[in-house]
Structure 1
Amino acid sequence: MIRFFRQIRQSLLSDHKFSKYVLYAVGEILLVVIGILIALWVNDWNEGRKDQDKRTALLASLSVEFNANLKQLDSVMYYNSRVIEAANKIVTLRPDQAIPPVYDTLREWVANTTWLWTYNPQNGALRSGISSGDVHLIKNDSLINLLFSWEDVVADAGENEKRHIEVQLRAGSIVNPYVRSLSSSGLSYYDLPESDFPSDFHGLMLDPLFEDYIAEVYIHTFDAQDELKLVRQQNVKIIQILERELNRFK
């Protein structure tokens, strides 16, 4: 093809058809420019398609991750609500009501206040997207802001969880002198027998340290639950926007 064009140029020059040669040269330049523009367009199209594939893959991974996080969060909040409920019932129970007929119920409440559930979300896809820079392929400012603030919101909630943990770590030294471990609710799961030694729930209810412990459990679990509600709101928003973004590229 190059040889063909060279022959045309030589023919025009040898015949002294200079004006036609100039027109031909301009046409040849235009063909080259058009060819370059087409090549650039094809390259941009390919890059755009690659970016779209990366964006879709990241959105899908984030959707799986945040749906799993929401499921875990709902479990943690459910058990926190059980702790709050148990602590509230114990606080409203008078010491003289802690007698054998209510032992089974009371020991369940006491055991529930010692539950310790913390929220540990998966952030692998999010961190990978941020470190690789692929997160910036997402052209949704609201989603970007929610994703970048996600770990800070979780960390804020974690501060209340730490205080909650510190309170519950003191439970053993307060509860164990009165309640036998084999009398704790839930041990039947391990197929263990009842304790041969009686638990003293009446004495436990008369101990002011136990009252302090229950009050602290209630307060810190309640505060942790409030923080987790904010985390949940952000988790749900992220999932909703992710679903809308994924539907755009179907």
Structure 2
Amino acid sequence: MRFFKKIKRSNLTYILSELVLLFIGINLAIWFNNWNTSKKINEAKAVAIEKIIDEIENNQLEVETVLQNNYIVLNAYEDFKNLYSGNTSVVKADAIKMQTLTNKYPGFFTVKDSTLIDEGQYLYEGSSRINLEIPTLTEIAWETTVTKNISVEFSYDCLYELESVYNLQRRVQVEIDKSADALQKGDIESLMVILDFLNQLGNDLKQDYEALKEHIKNCS
């Protein structure tokens, strides 16, 4: 009887040991799985943030180019506007004024012929040429981050700022497209209004880009 009791105790100890080992094994497996999942999520977030920063920097360069070009167009038109005689194909000015403007804004007005109409005053016939920068501001990195559900791992503040920046970027893109339409229609006055508003939005977007590039580092 004592022998059987020893066997039973031994079996019970063995079973308990196996259960403890099984419990430890399961918990280790769960911990490792969670660690591995967390590692993959963090890696995906790091890649997403890197791609978004690259996208923002590329878009920022495009916006800066647009703004610089717009300032030239706006200033050139402002300087020529009071000299136009009836339309943008004829300019009335003295030779020095005309030379100054053509040097300041090369290519904006091309002179084809000139006629002396008064002492020192000429009618310059030619054409005004407006060149616009019409880029497409991308949001592929951000859309991919949302589509892949990586964005759910970002904090609320981070998501709010990202969505805010890309919303403003879309508004800027709308104005860029509107400027192209106005130029194509030859509606110069409307074009100038659009470019002025576009520059306001563009400057706001540039500031938001800079802020986001700093804050997005905390999203990881």
Which TM-score applies when normalising by structure 1? 0.65
CA distance in 2, matches of 1:156, 1:149: 11
The question of whether the paired residues in 1 share the 8 Å contact of 2:59 and 2:138 is answered with yes
Task: Provide the residue aligned with 1:133 in structure 2.
Answer: 149
The question of whether the paired residues in 2 share the 8 Å contact of 1:129 and 1:135 is answered with yes
Task: Provide the residue aligned with 2:42 in structure 1.
Answer: 52
RMSD: 3.0
Q: Percent identity?
A: 15
Say how many residue pairs are matched: 193
Runs (5+) with no aligned partner, structure 1: 1-12, 172-211
Superimposed CA distance per residue, residues 9-44 of structure 1 (whole angstroms, 9 cap, x where no aligned partner): xxxx96223355434423321221111101111111
CA distance in 1, matches of 2:83, 2:217: 48
Structure in which a larger fraction of residues adopt strand = 2
CA distance in 2, matches of 1:220, 1:63: 28
Superimposed CA distance per residue, residues 99-124 of structure 1 (whole angstroms, 9 cap, x where no aligned partner): 33333444537458712123422322
Structure in which a larger fraction of residues adopt helix = 1
Letter paired with 2:176: E
CA distance in 2, matches of 1:105, 1:219: 25
Larger RCO: 1 or 2 (CA < 8 Å, sep 6+) = 1
1:145, distance to aligned residue in structure 2 (A): 2.1
Superimposed CA distance per residue, residues 75-134 of structure 1 (whole angstroms, 9 cap, x where no aligned partner): 111111111211222235586952333334445374587121234223222222222122
1:142, distance to aligned residue in structure 2 (A): 2.3
Letter paired with 2:139: N
Task: Provide the residue aligned with 1:239 in structure 2.
Answer: 213
Task: Provide the residue aligned with 1:116 in structure 2.
Answer: 132
Pick aligned residue for 1:166 from 181, 185, 201? 181
Task: Provide the residue aligned with 1:84 in structure 2.
Answer: 74
